[in-house]
Amino acid sequence: MNDVEFWKLFWSIMGPLILGALTWIGNSFRKWASSKAKNEKDRELINKINDIIFDAVISITQSFVDTLKKNNGFTPEAQQEAKEKAYAIINSQLTVELKQFIQDNYGDVKEFIMNKIEAVLWQTKK
């Protein structure tokens, strides 16, 4: 078995496992974040933000990262590009209200989003 065949087999097995892990992590994080909210409105906003972030990371993982990994092209530059693509998706989907909530409660919106992307990616590697 050559390297290309190995990686194709590896990702055909690991892809669904990673997506399952992302879903589980998203649900766990959503529960934790909700428990920290001050009230129901905050919980609702936090859940919307988390849904947008996790959906974007899953989307980029499926459409961009997995393809690069199968072709051994997932370089540090490609990793940064994937994060920027996820950020662009998230930023376009966040409403003014959600961005204001992030800014009021967590500070800089881009920094918050990029940290959340990193957290999701880190948790999937565990």
Please indicate, yes or no, whether the overall pTM of this predicted structure exceeds 0.75. Answer: no
More confident residue, 85 or 121: 85
pLDDT attached to residue 24: 79
In this predicted structure, the answer to whether residue 87 has a pLDDT above a threshold of 90 is yes
Closest CA to 126 of 28, 7, 2, 6: 28
More confident residue, 74 or 111: 111
Considering its fold, how many domains does the chain have in total? 1
The domain containing residue 90 runs over which residues?
A: 3-125
Among the residue ranges 69-73, 78-82, 83-87, the one predicted with the least confidence is: 69-73
Closest CA to 103 of 114, 91, 112, 115: 112
pLDDT attached to residue 68: 67
pLDDT digits (tens, 9 = 90+) for 6-53: 777 777 777 777 777 777 777 777 777 666 656 778 888 988 999 999
Residues in the chain: 126
Q: Are 74 and 60 in contact (CB under 8 A)?
A: no
